[in-house]
Amino acid sequence: AEVTRDEVELPPPAIDNRLTVHSLWPEIDRISTEQIQAAFEGVGGQIGWQLFAEEGDMRMYRREMEIDGMVMDPLKAMHKVHGVSAREMCHYFFNPRYRYEWETTLETMNIVEAISTDALVFHQTFKRIWPASQRDALFWSHVRAAPHHTYAVTNHSTTNADYPSNSGACIRLFVTVCLACRTAWPAGEAPSRDNITTSIAYCSTVNPGGWAPAGVLRAVYKREYPKFLKRFTNYVVEQCRDKPLVI
């Protein structure tokens, strides 16, 4: 049966059966597994990661990468938040109901396919960055639980015959994004809003899909990624303030 919007509630603790029978499942499972594993790997020992933003517990690193003159710098960000769980963070990131409230780069968002309670396909258009053409993206989004009180959302570009690329005003960009969150609390205590800390790892690689000036693009992401992560984290803290904790 088709998944209704209202069914997409808190991220389920186990994979939804409707996802495992879908044609995208092998790809969704493989990429999500890889992304979640890579998200918690450090940046310290690895060559090439440069710190470009730091504020409180938030650190953002990038690796400069150009292919045929197009900037594809991978980004990796680490952050910590107190009083909200990994499951709550992922709920607000995955669920389209809240997206316009925290996502400031968005112009439009449509659900192309509701695969299951834990997987959706989205078409999004973004605000135009002058002087480049406007961009859109078509991607699946999957939320899952992992060991050690971890939840993660992985977004990855896909195709759909009803949403051909580069057919209108927009150039199609390609994304791989992973928001992985892990909650911890002091041994011997019960988890509560007062004692939990959630570690966040956000990884993103955006292929602009066509020409965009490198300098403008780097200036935009240096401003927009920190803005996104701070705004999103604060948004979730606000949303959860008077609600019972869900781990």
Strands (E), the chain: 50-55, 58-62, 66-67, 70-71, 75-82, 106-116, 119-126, 135-146, 150-157, 171-172, 174-184, 197-207
Residue nearest to ligand 16C (CB): 224
Q: Which amino acid is at 31?
A: I
The answer to the question of residue 221 lying near ligand 16C (CB under 6 A) is: yes
Which range of residues in 7-15, 50-58, 193-201, 223-231 is near ligand 16C by CB under 6 A?
223-231
Tell which one of 57, 83, 103, 222 touches ligand 16C (CB under 6 A). Answer: 103
| Residues between 3 and 62 that touch ligand 16C (CB under 6 A) | none
Q: Compute the least distance from the CB of residue 194 to ligand 16C, in Å.
A: 29
Task: Report the residue number, 89 or 177, with the smaller CB distance to ligand 16C.
Answer: 177
Q: Residue 94, SS3?
A: helix
Least Å distance between CB 90 and ligand 16C?
Answer: 12
Q: Work out whether 111 is an interface residue with ligand 16C (CB under 6 A).
A: no
Least CB distance to ligand 16C at residue 53 (A): 12
Q: Is 225 in the site for ligand 16C (CB under 6 A)?
A: yes
Residue list 60-99, contact with ligand 16C (CB under 6 A): 99
Residues in contact with 129: Cβ distance below 8 Å, sequence separation at least 6, in sequence order: 212, 216, 217, 220
Residue 85's CB is within 10 A of a number of other CB atoms, namely 25
Residue placing its CB nearer to ligand 16C in the complex, 137 or 240: 137
Let me know: does 156 contact 43? Beta carbons within 8 Å.
Answer: no
Which residue, 136 or 196, is less far from ligand 16C as judged by CB? 136
Assess contact for 212 and 83: CB atoms under 8 A. no
Whether residue 131 is preceded by a cis peptide bond, meaning omega within 30 degrees of 0, is yes
